[in-house]
Every structure is written in C-alpha cells, then in structure tokens.
Amino acid sequence: MSFLTAEWRKLALASYDVDPKLLNPTCHMALSLTFGTGGATSASLVSCSKMSGCLV
C-alpha cells in the first residue's frame, strides 16, 4: 500500500461545520452526508504542494 507510506509536504487541512442544506445540492447522489452534534456536518479542505511515493 504505497499510499500509506507516501511522503506528504506542506500539508494544510481545514475542517468546518456546515449546514447540511448547503452541501446536499453538491453531494453526489451515491454519497450521503453524516451528521455530528447539533445536526451539522463537516466539510474539509486539503491542500498538499508535494507528494512522493504515491500514485494519485
């Protein structure tokens, strides 16, 4: 599993609680949203400037 041994550099991760009504129209019909406390769901943004040892 080369993905698990990949080298990640300059990795940034941001997660936000978002109202599910905002995400439902953009969510693929084969996927479903999971809800946390208070009925919100989380949206995450991931940025990586360089990876090695991994095929994406």
Q: What is the overall mean pLDDT for the chain?
A: 75
Please tell me the predicted confidence (pLDDT) of residue 37.
Answer: 72
Does 20 fall in a domain? yes
Does 24 fall in a domain? yes
- Does the reported pTM lie above 0.75? no
Residue 13 and residue 23: Cα distance in Å, rounded? Answer: 19
Residue 24 and residue 35: Cα distance in Å, rounded? Answer: 12
Does 2 fall in a domain? no
Domain encompassing residue 21? 10-40
Total domains in the chain come to 1
Pairing assessment for the beta strands 7-18 and 41-52 based on DSSP bridges = antiparallel
Does 33 fall in a domain? yes
Does 46 fall in a domain? no
pLDDT lower than 50: segments of the chain: none
Please tell me the predicted confidence (pLDDT) of residue 27.
Answer: 81
Question: Which is nearest to 9 in space by CA: 48, 55, 47, 56?
Answer: 48
Does 4 fall in a domain? no
Please tell me the predicted confidence (pLDDT) of residue 17.
Answer: 84
